[in-house]
């Protein structure tokens, strides 16, 4: 079995694959709150409990681990866990790891590991040119050429970050549930905030994708990330929703490095 782990600033997503199955079927997945203070021992216990729900043992059943991480402390502890308890050298997406995708950034080391995993996964599924919109801590736009090159993209503050800033700076506004309101015209303060968050961000996505397509031509547009299911349905540009795109890309990269 193969464990793929995408450690973001807010959430960590864990996926389980059969390492010998070329169909790339995701057997199970778990979404956890990211805690940068967890040690390798705590990570082992947590992952062991998750695998026990599938009647699997982390020591005997896991043959490979692939990691993309935007949190250096978690990257370090995951490496330590694999080496100390699993006797596995994990594939940690970064410098020196084969991805099969040229990176056209001026400094390729600046590109987040999850963005590369998304690009690899999207190109495998849809070819190019492709735009990946990832709704995470930040909302990122990643552009893949028709030749399978990572061209670059754009980064804007994520929806939840923006909402936190709004509530933190506006004393008269309170936190609301992040769902689509009855109408784009809010009839209450709660609905007005929800309209701004949902329809405002959907318009941002549509506008950015239009501008990117003016440069690269017509592209396949794919959404992923924790809030993709909320925003993608109310956009006009997003064609596909792939909630586990990063995990798919990580598995492909793991295979290239065996």
Residue 184 has pLDDT above 70, yes or no: yes
Summarize the chain as % helix, strand, coil (round to 5). Answer: 40, 20, 35
What pLDDT is attached to residue 46?
A: 94
The topology (CATH level 3) of 108-248 is Nucleotidyltransferase; domain 5 (3.30.420)
> Of 111, 239, 229, 237, which Cα lies nearest the Cα of 179?
229
Task: State how far Cα 159 lies from the chain centre.
Answer: 14
* Beta-bridge mates of residue 32: 12
For residue 23, what pLDDT band results from cuts at 50, 70 and 90?
Answer: confident
Residue 22 has pLDDT above 90, yes or no: no
Query: Cβ–Cβ contacts within 10 Å for residue 250, how many?
Result: 32
pTM: 0.90
**pLDDT, average across residues 7-25:** 86
Which residues are part of the catalytic machinery?
A: 114
5 neighbors 65 (Cβ within 8 angstroms): yes
Residue 173 has pLDDT above 90, yes or no: no
**pLDDT, average across residues 142-149:** 96
Q: CATH says 2-92 is which class?
A: alpha beta
What pLDDT is attached to residue 161?
A: 84
For residue 171, what pLDDT band results from cuts at 50, 70 and 90?
Answer: low
What pLDDT is attached to residue 95?
A: 81
Alpha carbon separation from 187 to 190, 193, 203 (Å, rounded): 8, 10, 20
What is the full DSSP assignment across 91-143?
A: EESSTT---S--B-SSSGGGS-HHHHHHHHHHHHHH-SSEEEEEESSEEEEEE
Residue 128 has pLDDT above 70, yes or no: yes
What pLDDT is attached to residue 124?
A: 96
What pLDDT is attached to residue 168?
A: 78
Token pair in block for residue 199:
């329809």
Domain assignments of the chain as residue spans, ordered by start: 2-92, 108-248
- The values of phi and psi at residue 17, to 5°, are -125, 155
**pLDDT, average across residues 43-65:** 93
Q: Do domains 2-92 and 108-248 have the same CATH topology?
A: yes
């Amino acid at each position: 079995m193969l464990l793929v782990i995408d450690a973001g600033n807010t959430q960590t997503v864990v996926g389980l694959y059969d390492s010998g199955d070329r169909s790339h079927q995701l057997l199970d997945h778990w979404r956890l709150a990211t805690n940068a203070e967890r040690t390798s021992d705590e990570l082992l216990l947590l992952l062991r409990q998750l695998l026990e729900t599938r009647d699997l043992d982390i020591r005997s059943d896991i043959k490979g681990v692939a990691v993309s991480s935007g949190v250096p402390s978690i990257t370090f502890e995951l490496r330590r866990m694999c080496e100390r308890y699993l006797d596995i050298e994990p594939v940690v997406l970064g410098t020196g790891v084969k991805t099969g995708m040229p990176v056209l950034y001026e400094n390729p080391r600046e590109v987040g590991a999850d963005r590369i995993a998304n690009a690899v996964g999207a190109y495998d599924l849809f070819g190019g040119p492709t735009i990946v919109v990832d709704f995470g801590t930040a909302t990122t736009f990643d552009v893949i050429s028709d030749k399978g090159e990572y061209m670059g993209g754009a980064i804007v503050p994520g929806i939840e970050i923006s909402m936190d800033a709004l509530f933190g700076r506006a004393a008269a506004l309170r936190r609301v549930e992040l769902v689509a309101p009855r109408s784009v015209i809010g009839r209450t303060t709660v609905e007005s905030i929800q309209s701004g968050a949902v329809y405002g961000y959907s318009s941002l996505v549509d506008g950015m994708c239009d501008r990117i397509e003016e440069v690269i031509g017509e592209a396949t547009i794919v959404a992923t990330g924790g809030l993709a299911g909320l925003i993608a349905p109310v956009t006009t540009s997003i064609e596909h929703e792939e909630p586990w795109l990063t995990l798919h890309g990580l598995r492909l990269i793991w295979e290239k490095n065996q």
